[in-house]
A and B are shown apart, each in its own frame.
Chain A
Amino acid sequence: MRPFKFSSANDARNAVQIVSANQAAKFLAGGTNILDLMKEDVERPIELVDVSRLNLTQIKSVNGGLSLGALAKNTDTANHPLVRQNYPLLSMAILAGASQQIRNMATNGGNLLQRTRCQYFYDVAMPCNKREPGTGCGALEGINRMHAIFGWSEKCVAVYPSDMSIALAALDAVVKVQSANGKERVIPFADFHRLPGDTPERDTNLNHGELITAIELPKNNFAGKSYYLKVRDRASYAFALVSVAAALEMDGNKIKQARIALGGVAHKPWRAMEAEKTLVGKEATEANFKSAAEAEMKKAKPLEHNKFKVELGTRGIVRALQMASSGDAV
């Protein structure tokens, strides 16, 4: 690991100022991703500002919804009574990710900022436009079984790894951010992460030095009918091949509103808007779930090794909607 200056912040404003003033400085919270990347020489900060002691750990009701402190641990968030009761989809998604040890360390803000696990990104001997713009994409015509089927570009076919964010996308969360000028800004979740386009080195629309302070969830009526399905190569502690966050609000036996977001398929959480639209006003039947899933997945553009993700995604959407609809899991 390369040498870096270390300091522990006790004031958010001050932390933002320090990092903003140094392009090669980074925040450190749980450290579960950045330390790994520093050991791999992928991340090379010359200064780390430990923000984990900042007073941004509260989980509390606001405006009928819920505010999750950016520095609350993933474990504490997944187990919070208000999250479990009103946003079980979020609990399930967090619990589907990583291991207990890592969830005990990882923070909510840090979870959003996880970087891709694309092996070409991790291996500094390989070309990667995300790690080193202009070097090319090793995965585009390489081993791309784990890679994107939606929204990729010639520059980058990596997928975004977080489970938590897939639920947050489905739940229309917003991200509160503190900027260098002392101002706060609010970013709707759909605009937080980016598609790769010509600038895959940018994962999010955060500016350098901006600090996530909280994630806010609006009130909803999905709690009793939601489910997070994660399909992976082994039963636990693996990244998703495909994951599906599904939530339904019913009006009698008709679907009033559906929310579906997919993980493991794109450079950001992929809201299945086409499928959602298809379901409104329909009954919650397997046939309707299937046509909704197909409407979404027919837009997929798989790569050489991940064609299976199209069928897996279709079946995953149907399965997740069935589980959500039954209400058995929540």
Chain B
Amino acid sequence: MRVLLIEDDAILGAAVRDQIAADGHTVDWATRLDTARDCVGTVTYELILLDLMLPDGRGLDFLKARRAARDATPVIILTARDQISDRIAGLNTGADDYLVKPFDLAELSARIGAVARRYAGNPNPQVEIGDLTIDLAQRLIQRAGHPITLTAREWVLFEAFVQRPRALVTKAQMEERLYSFDAEVESNTIEVYIGRIRKKLGHDIIETIRGMGYRLGQPKRAAS
């Protein structure tokens, strides 16, 4: 997932950026609203983390402008303003969630996951595909009660399929997801990871749409 972090505090911003990146998302960090406006004008984000008090304006005005421009990108407000009236104003303006500073980074990760799932049309963190049980919140996959472990990079790619079960995921979208690991993405990197996921979860788990990309498969439930 590509995330825009708008936070003017350098120390907090760095920690939040590292946490989101460690969760496997790609983060762009803006410390001012004008930079943030440039970012949303050039890149499509799947989530925005928005501080309310920034050096060049109020976060709520930025959010209001985005919603007025029919931008439905999920927004989580991160703020030191704890008043319930601020929270109501934020949610009424179109924010999806609200976290008051200081917050736990684990809590932030959980909220990001919940908002992402809600926007993917599947707010339930428990997903069943064939005989696989997937907990998106806990990042757990089980087959018949036995856990299957994916690496962070495998998970980031697999999550993209689970969040939009019938959607096509292009190779470019998957490459963007891997940028957060600051790794060199070779021309065959995606194929390598798709191969590893299929090896662990079954070949049918991901379908190849030739020349276009990949899609979540519909594996059959194993006969009992």
Q: Do A and B bind each other?
A: no
